[in-house]
């Protein structure tokens, strides 16, 4: 199996008004593996993350410090994180981790985590389903966590806090989500101290006009675009078109998942994360710097697909992996 892109392809042709470089926030090892039925051994996770770093990714979400009962697939956070010390300490790779509460934050900080993320919901239904709280109760839960992370910052060189926001475009129970409602929660997350937002299209229903309207509404309410990342799912095949729209608006923090990890393409439960390789193909064609070696990344995702025993849903991985999968 080779994973070399075809010679001189994609042809590099920049488009007007796009940023010259972006930061890919790689979520495969956390958001991807969290949704796998099988539990992946800690060694395999550590190797996966090292391979992602070797492929040039510099922000790799590593794991989640939630209670193991909630997310058994990531119950090995304590065992995994120390195996990644070389990446943070000598190679400058950022390894954000999810923290749901003060206890999770303490565990993460004790292990040396310097990038943490909280995860709120734009809708009441999902806040209830995911956190068993109202939207505002969830925000109240995260407020002291963010405050404590910011406090820790004075002791360390940096603690960067990301605020994930789920269901920013549509919700399986509520349908379309009003933009004002999303903006309100975004503002609350920034007001409590989050450094960056990640706008999640958790069920993958957004289309480009909706993306642009939300970004414009955030700007109008004083949220600068450089504080905003986008996290699109490919459930309806819209993720890359939506990412293009976000790039056209100036967004430079793009979430994606190596190999499209995050749900089997044949299962109803597919979360369908945007595949990092499909994103990188577009960005490189547009002449936008990512620092990623697409051949190495594709080889990594093909390797991970073998570990999981099923083909990658990334179209680029399939196209570049010269075997019948």
Q: Which is nearer to a second copy, 105 or 304 (CB)?
A: 304
Q: How far is the CB of 275 from a second copy (least distance, A)?
A: 7
**Member of 102, 129, 147, 212 binding a second copy (CB under 8 A):** 212
17 binds a second copy (CB under 8 A): no
Q: Which is nearer to a second copy, 111 or 212 (CB)?
A: 212
140 binds a second copy (CB under 8 A): no
Q: How far is the CB of 270 from a second copy (least distance, A)?
A: 7
Q: Tell me how far apart the alpha carbons of residues 207 and 170 are, in angstroms, rounded to a whole number.
A: 11
- Which residue do the tokens 């700007």 mark? 219
217 binds a second copy (CB under 8 A): no
* Nearest CA-CA partner of 71 in 103, 105, 99: 99
Q: Which is nearer to a second copy, 88 or 321 (CB)?
A: 321
250 binds a second copy (CB under 8 A): no
324 binds a second copy (CB under 8 A): yes
Q: Tell me how far apart the alpha carbons of residues 35 and 269 are, in angstroms, rounded to a whole number.
A: 9
Q: How far is the CB of 11 from a second copy (least distance, A)?
A: 4
316 binds a second copy (CB under 8 A): yes
Q: Is 71 within 8 Å of 119 (Cβ atoms)?
A: no
Alpha-helical runs (H) found in 169-293: 179-191, 208-220, 239-249, 276-285
**Member of 72, 209, 224, 291 binding a second copy (CB under 8 A):** 209
11 binds a second copy (CB under 8 A): yes
Given the residues 168, 186, 194, 264, select the one marked as catalytic.
264
Q: How far is the CB of 129 from a second copy (least distance, A)?
A: 15
* Nearest CA-CA partner of 272 in 282, 260, 258, 280: 260
Angle at 80 between CA 69 and CA 63, to 5 degrees: 60
**Member of 69, 154, 266, 309 binding a second copy (CB under 8 A):** 266
Backbone angles phi, psi at 255, to 5 degrees: -85, 140
Q: Which is nearer to a second copy, 72 or 209 (CB)?
A: 209
68 binds a second copy (CB under 8 A): no
**Member of 38, 79, 140, 176 binding a second copy (CB under 8 A):** 176
Known catalytic residue: 264?
yes
Q: Which is nearer to a second copy, 119 or 281 (CB)?
A: 281
Q: Tell me how far apart the alpha carbons of residues 185 and 135 are, in angstroms, rounded to a whole number.
A: 8
Q: Tell me how far apart the alpha carbons of residues 171 and 177 are, in angstroms, rounded to a whole number.
A: 7
Burial 262-298 (b: 16+ CB within 10 A, else e): bbbeeeeebbbbbbbbbbbbbbbebebebebebebbb
Q: Which is nearer to a second copy, 41 or 178 (CB)?
A: 178
Instruction: Give me the sheet containing 97-98, strands edge to edge.
Output: 59-60, 23-26, 253-256, 228-232, 196-201, 160-166, 115-121, 97-98, 63-64
Dihedral-angle region of residue 270 (phi above 0 means left; psi in -120 to 50 means alpha; beta otherwise): beta
- Burial classification of residue 110, based on how many CB atoms lie within 10 Å of its CB (0-12 exposed, 13-18 middle, 19 or more buried): exposed
Q: Which is nearer to a second copy, 178 or 224 (CB)?
A: 178
208 binds a second copy (CB under 8 A): yes
Q: Tell me how far apart the alpha carbons of residues 311 and 325 are, in angstroms, rounded to a whole number.
A: 6
Q: How far is the CB of 122 from a second copy (least distance, A)?
A: 13
Residues that bind a second copy (CB under 8 A): 6-15, 18, 169-170, 172, 175-177, 203-210, 212-213, 234-238, 240-241, 243-245, 265-268, 270, 272, 275, 277-278, 281-282, 284-287, 311, 314-316, 318-319, 322-325
Which residues are tagged catalytic?
Answer: 264
């Amino acid at each position: 199996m080779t994973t070399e892109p075809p010679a001189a392809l994609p042809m590099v042709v920049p488009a007007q008004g796009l940023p010259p470089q972006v930061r890919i926030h790689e979520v495969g090892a956390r958001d991807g593996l969290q949704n796998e039925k099988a539990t992946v051994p800690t060694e395999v996770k550590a190797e996966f993350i090292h391979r992602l770093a070797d492929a040039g990714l510099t922000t790799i979400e590593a794991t989640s410090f939630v209670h193991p009962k909630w997310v058994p697939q990531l119950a090995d956070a304590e065992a995994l994180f120390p195996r990644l010390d070389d990446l943070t300490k000598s190679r400058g790779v950022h390894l954000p981790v999810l923290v749901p509460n003060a206890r999770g934050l303490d565990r993460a900080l004790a292990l040396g985590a310097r990038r943490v993320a909280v995860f709120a919901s734009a809708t009441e239904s999902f806040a209830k389903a995911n956190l068993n709280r109202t939207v505002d109760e969830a925000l109240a839960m995260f407020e002291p966590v963010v405050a404590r992370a910011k406090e820790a910052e004075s002791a360390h060189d940096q603690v960067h806090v990301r605020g994930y926001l789920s269901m920013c475009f549509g919700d399986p129970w509520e349908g379309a989500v009003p933009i004002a409602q999303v903006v309100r929660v975004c503002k609350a997350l920034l007001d409590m101290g989050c450094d960056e937002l990640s706008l999640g299209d958790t069920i993958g229903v957004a289309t480009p006009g909706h993306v642009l309207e939300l970004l414009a509404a955030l700007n109008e309410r004083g949220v600068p675009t450089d504080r905003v990342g986008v996290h699109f799912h490919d459930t309806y095949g819209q993720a890359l078109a939506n990412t293009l729209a976000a790039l056209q608006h100036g967004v430079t923090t793009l979430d994606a998942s190596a190999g499209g990890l995050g749900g089997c393409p044949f299962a109803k439960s597919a979360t369908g994360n945007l595949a990092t390789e499909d994103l990188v193909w577009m960005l490189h064609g547009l002449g936008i710097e990512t620092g990623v070696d697409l051949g190495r990344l594709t080889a990594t995702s093909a390797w991970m697909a073998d570990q999981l025993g099923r083909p990658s849903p990334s179209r680029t991985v399939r196209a570049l992996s010269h075997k019948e999968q």
